[in-house]
C-alpha cells in the first residue's frame, strides 16, 4: 500500500493571493484539506455560482461534500468565531458535522488576548503592525510562553475554570498597568467558554492521527496555508508579520505529519501585488494606477474590509518565496485585473545605492534603501475574464505568464481569470499531476 500524495498551498506574497478559491478548486482532487497556521484573521473568499462564502477558520475543503476538513494544531482557535462560522455554514446547507475536525492540541484564543492586542496596537510609542486585533499574536505568545490553553484543556472544565481565573487575574493587572484597560470578568468568561466547549467537543480529535492514518490508507491530502510568505514570523518583513509559520515548513509543524510526507508545494501569486497593514512594500504604487488596481481587483480585506495597498509584481520577492518554500508550481490569480492596461510594470530587480542586489533585507528599514528596477511588459487590452483555456488568452497575456514563469523559476500550473470557482485555466502538465494525486495509491 502506497502513501497518499500531498501538496501544500502557500501564499507567495503578503497573503490575499486568492488561496480560498484555489484550495476550493483543488480540493476536488483531495480527500482531506488541512489548515496548518493562523487564526480567524485570515479570510478566504470563495464564490460558487455567484454565491459568496467567506471562511476564516474552517478550511475551504468544507465546501466539497466528499472532502474532510481539518483545523490543525498550528492554528489558534477562537471558539466563538468557530461556532459562528460553523453556524453560518450549516445555515447555507454546507455539511460540517462529521466532516470537520479540530485538533485537540490547537491553542485557544480567549477575550484577554484581544484586550491585550487592541490595547498594545493603540498604545502611544508602539510600532503599529496593522493587526486585525483579534488576539492572534498574544495567543501565540502564550503558546510559546507555555501558559496557553489548548482545545483539550478547553474541554476539561475543572482545568478551564482554574486557567481562566489565574490568567484573567494576571492579564487584568498587565493591561491596567500598561494600557489602563477595563478589567475582564473571570466568572462570566468561564460560563461563556464552558458552554462553547460543549458545542465544540464533537469536532475535536487527535488530528495528527487522523491525517497520518489517511496518508497510510493512500488518501491524498492538501495542506492549506494562511497569510503569505512575506508575513511569516521568521522569513517575512519582520516585525510587520503574522505570529505563525505561514511558509510550507509550517505544514509539518502545524499538522503533525512528517516533513518527508510533503510531495509538492504550490505557490500562489497575484498577477500584481497587494499588502494589508503596515510594513515594507517595494513595488507599491501610491498613484492613480494603484487606485485603479484596487478598484478593478476589489482589493478590500475579506475579514476587515480594509483597503489593500496595491502595486506591481515583485519578481525578487517571488524568487525568494520560491526558495524558502520549495515552490514547484505557481498559480497566478487575478490576471483579468490587468486587462485594461496598455503596459504592465514588473519589478525585475533591486538597486541599493546605485548597485544591483539580489538579497532580501532582514530588517524592515533595509527596504527603505531599495529601489525597484522595472521592466514594462506590453498589455493586451482585451478581456480575459472567464477564459478557461490557455490558448484562448491574448498573446501578450501568454507572454506575460511565460515571463513570470521564467523569472520565478517555477512552472505556472493554473491561472485564475475571475472570482468564480469555474473561472480557471488548468495547464496540461499540472492537471495530469493532479489526476495522479487523486487516484488512490493502493
Which residues are designated catalytic? Answer: 16, 44
The residue whose grid cell reads 478551564 is: 160
Which set of grid coordinates corresponds to residue 80? 466563538
Which set of grid coordinates corresponds to residue 331? 498559480
CA distance 42 to 291: 23
CA distance 406 to 150: 44
Q: How many other CB atoms sit within 10 Å of the CB of residue 140?
A: 23
Q: List, in sequence order, every residue forming a beta bridge with 34; answer none if it has no partner.
A: 70, 223
Smallest CA-to-CA distance from 400 within 270, 267, 244 is with 270
CA distance 118 to 96: 32
What would you report as the CA-atom Rg of the chain, rounded to the nearest whole angstrom?
22
CA distance 136 to 117: 8
Handedness of CA 271, 272, 275, 280 (dihedral sign): positive
Largest separation between any pair of C-alpha atoms in the chain: 66
CA distance 223 to 210: 14
Non-local (6+) Cβ contacts of 198 within 8 A are none
User: At CA 233, angle to CA 231 and CA 235, rounded to 5?
Assistant: 75
The residue whose grid cell reads 488512490 is: 440
Amino acid at each position: 500500500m502506497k502513501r497518499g500524495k500531498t501538496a501544500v498551498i502557500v501564499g507567495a506574497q503578503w497573503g490575499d493571493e486568492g488561496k480560498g478559491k484555489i484550495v476550493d478548486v483543488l480540493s476536488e482532487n483531495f480527500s482531506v484539506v488541512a489548515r496548518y497556521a493562523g487564526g480567524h484573521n485570515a479570510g478566504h473568499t470563495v464564490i460558487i455560482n455567484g454565491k459568496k462564502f467567506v471562511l476564516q477558520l474552517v478550511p475551504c475543503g468544507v465546501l466539497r461534500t466528499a472532502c474532510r476538513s481539518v483545523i490543525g494544531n498550528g492554528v489558534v482557535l477562537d471558539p466563538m468565531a468557530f461556532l459562528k462560522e460553523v453556524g453560518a455554514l450549516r445555515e447555507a446547507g454546507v455539511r460540517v458535522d462529521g466532516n470537520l475536525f479540530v485538533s485537540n492540541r490547537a491553542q485557544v484564543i480567549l477575550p484577554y488576548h484581544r484586550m491585550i492586542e487592541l490595547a498594545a496596537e493603540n498604545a502611544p510609542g508602539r510600532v503599529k503592525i496593522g493587526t486585525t486585533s483579534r488576539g492572534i499574536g498574544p495567543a501565540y505568545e502564550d503558546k510559546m510562553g507555555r501558559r496557553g490553553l489548548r482545545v483539550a484543556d478547553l474541554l476539561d472544565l475543572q482545568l478551564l475554570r482554574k486557567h481562566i481565573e489565574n490568567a484573567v487575574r494576571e492579564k487584568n493587572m498587565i493591561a491596567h498597568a500598561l494600557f489602563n484597560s477595563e478589567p475582564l470578568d473571570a466568572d462570566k468568561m468561564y460560563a461563556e467558554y464552558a458552554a462553547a466547549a460543549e458545542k465544540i467537543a464533537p469536532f475535536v480529535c487527535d488530528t495528527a492521527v487522523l491525517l497520518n492514518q489517511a496518508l497510510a490508507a493512500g488518501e491524498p491530502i492538501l495542506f492549506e496555508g494562511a497569510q503569505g510568505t512575506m508575513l511569516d514570523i521568521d522569513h517575512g518583513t519582520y516585525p510587520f508579520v503574522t505570529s505563525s509559520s505561514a511558509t510550507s515548513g509550517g505544514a509539518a509543524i502545524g499538522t503533525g505529519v512528517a516533513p518527508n510526507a510533503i510531495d509538492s508545494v504550490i505557490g500562489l501569486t497575484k498577477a500584481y501585488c497587494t499588502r494589508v497593514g503596515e510594513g515594507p512594500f517595494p513595488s507599491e504604487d501610491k498613484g492613480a494606477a494603484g487606485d485603479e488596481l484596487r478598484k478593478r481587483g476589489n482589493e478590500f480585506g475579506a475579514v476587515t474590509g480594509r483597503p489593500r495597498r496595491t502595486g506591481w509584481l515583485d519578481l525578487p520577492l517571488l524568487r525568494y518565496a520560491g526558495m524558502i518554500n520549495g515552490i514547484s508550481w505557481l498559480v497566478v490569480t487575478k490576471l483579468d485585473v490587468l486587462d485594461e492596461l496598455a503596459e504592465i510594470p514588473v519589478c525585475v530587480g533591486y538597486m541599493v545605492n546605485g548597485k544591483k542586489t539580489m538579497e532580501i533585507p532582514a530588517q524592515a528599514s533595509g527596504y527603505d534603501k531599495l529601489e525597484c528596477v522595472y521592466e514594462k511588459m506590453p498589455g493586451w487590452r482585451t478581456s480575459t475574464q472567464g477564459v478557461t483555456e490557455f490558448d484562448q488568452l491574448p498573446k501578450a497575456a501568454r507572454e506575460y505568464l511565460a515571463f513570470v514563469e521564467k523569472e520565478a523559476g517555477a512552472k505556472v500550473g493554473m491561472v485564475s481569470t475571475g472570482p468564480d470557482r469555474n473561472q480557471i485555466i488548468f495547464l496540461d502538465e499540472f492537471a495530469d499531476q493532479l489526476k495522479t494525486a487523486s487516484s488512490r495509491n493502493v
